[in-house]
Structure 1
Amino acid sequence: MEELRSAMEDHMNQMADLIQKLSTELRSGFAPAYDNFLGFFHAIDWKEPFLMGLLGFHVLLLLTTILSRRHINFQMCLFLLSLSGVYLAEKLNRFLGAQWQSFATQNYFDPHGIFISILWSGPLLVIAMLILVNTLFSLCHLIVRWKRAELRHRAKLQKKEN
């Protein structure tokens, strides 16, 4: 029984330390995260052709997603392609990390994949979420149409019976 009490006290002390650290971090605000973001943003040469091409690709994919919002089958293909791109990001990072001299002035492709995650996977995940939300809205609209048609059909059947 004494071991259980000791283990519980240790656990409670650890939880109190974690809560204290969390409250200290929350009091410091978003300044450290903002500083890290600015450091990342300024470390990139945004005039590199491959970066402009990548941003153009994401803008084109976003426009295609928005303009094809009524074509669910096409959107499902885009959804699968964008998630496949996220899935292949690690292999892409390794490949581009080995070939960076041929298309960039500096090696952006670190072993942890921060660059590829932010500039490749991030936009693809946002586009996939937009497609998913659009699909859910389309399904809700389809369910409402189906239920209305069912109610009209039942009303016609009742009218014939009377």
Structure 2
Amino acid sequence: MTSRSGSTTTQRWGRRCSATSCPSRPALSPTCSSFAHLTHRPIEELRGEGLLEAARSLLEGGLDWLVVTGLRGELEGRVEQDQIGEFVLVGGSVQLRRHPFVPSGAKGVGDVFTAALNARLVRGGSLVEAVDDAARLTADHLRSAQPGASDEPRQV
């Protein structure tokens, strides 16, 4: 889940990333449950200000950016059952990205997201673009695993 390669990080929202232009700084993209373990907090506290405080504590430890995946609520605490989100923190800037929730019992979904995120960052683009693309690819992957889905391969 840690990205240390200069080709897989971006410092600010709009800045483009390439294999030679990004600094080599650590970053994380944990699932919400992994984030709770990393920050030694109960998952119930990772809403609103509790989520923001926990995330900032990791950035103060030297991370360049943080993307927490698999959120089923938002910063204000409202839960929308048909959506899932990613909390994106870069420096002092925060964004909550929302996407349709795809029900699944699959294991390793966070790993699929992280692989897609890093593949997208290596190709270039901003962190937010990469998060949105990774979320779409992950949802496509989950849909393709459902009964009756097409066997066509997905492109990262």
Taking structure 2 as the reference length, what is the TM-score of the superposition? 0.25
TM, length-normalised to structure 1: 0.25
Higher helix share: 1
Computing the radius of gyration from Cα coordinates, the structure with the larger value is: 1
